[in-house]
Amino acid sequence: AEDSPKRRKANFNEAETEVLIEQVLKHEQLLFAAGPGRASPGQKRKVWELIRHKVNPVAACPRDVEDLKKRWRDLKRRDRSKLCRLSQGCGPPGPPALGLLLAPEELPPARRQRR
């Protein structure tokens, strides 16, 4: 067993992605705010743990905080690249548009009706 190559985790399923987006947007101010009123690293760690506890019940396999952060970064990056392709000017994007350009199946159910 020790000599076997490390197997990668399963891809995030739709339910995991929905819960992740929903929870990160709910706690967006705490996680990503800048300036003097921003949260401490300890507070952010607690919020990511809370999100992990919300995602894992619907997860295909147990996720850790680093998995969730990476998935969130990937979602943001993909969103920016869509924005870049639509605007034809691939410079740095303006305000974050996450959620505006995600595919409907990637949005939480409450946000799907608004499209």
Decide if pLDDT at 21 tops 90: yes
- The model's pLDDT over 76-98, given as tens digits with 9 standing for 90+, comes to 998 888 767 766 555 554 445 55
Q: CA-CA distance, 52 to 62, in Å (whole number)?
A: 9
Helices 65-87 and 14-26, axial angle in degrees (round to 10)? 90
Query: Is residue 39 helix, strand or coil?
Result: coil
Q: What is the per-residue pLDDT across 59-70, written as a single tens digit (0 to 9) for each?
A: 999 999 999 999
**How much is the average pLDDT of 26-50?**
93
